[in-house]
Amino acid sequence: MRTRLLVMVAALGLLTAAVPLWAHHAFAAEFDQKKPLKLKGAVIKWEVTNPHSWIHMSVKGEDGQAVTWMIEGGSPNNLYRLGFTRDSLPAGAEIIVEGYQAKDGSNRAVGKNVTFTDGRRLFLGLQMPADAEKK
């Protein structure tokens, strides 16, 4: 009986440890490497949250109206190691983001890098598939 209980507890522990892995997504699950984009606009807000950060930005659409885009970036820890600081993306800052649009065609993308008005360029910390970099 004791061995059976130990085996059940161990199995439950392994199952519980695997749950976060199911929640994490791969690039190809949400984003389309055949839809590269380059967005120029102003930061609305920067969410520095785990497991990924989000840049909300206002971009002028083809009709001249402001469109809000959400850009997924790397984890806060990774971004800080790449040169970002808490004050890197204040509301109103003009930036250019290169990345790949969501497969569902929404105004959501995964960012590859950010270019600032002074010419600085920072990597957004997410690995792109090798094929995406060749296109």
pLDDT digits (tens, 9 = 90+) for 22-77: 444 566 678 889 999 999 999 999 999 998 999 999 999 889 999 999 999 999 99
Q: What is the pLDDT of residue 20?
A: 44
Kindly report the CATH number that applies to the domain delimited by 26-134: 2.40.50.140
Kindly report the pTM of this predicted structure.
Answer: 0.74
Question: pLDDT tens digits for 95-125?
Answer: 999 999 999 999 999 999 999 999 999 999 8
Give the largest CA-CA distance in the chain: 71
Query: Is the pLDDT reported for residue 5 higher than 90?
Result: no
Query: Is the pLDDT reported for residue 129 higher than 80?
Result: no
- Residues 17/118, Cβ–Cβ less than 8 Å: no
- Residues 32/24, Cβ–Cβ less than 8 Å: no
Q: What is the pLDDT of residue 125?
A: 81
Query: Is the pLDDT reported for residue 14 higher than 90?
Result: no
| Positions of E strands within the chain | 31-47, 54-60, 66-72, 94-102, 108-116, 121-123
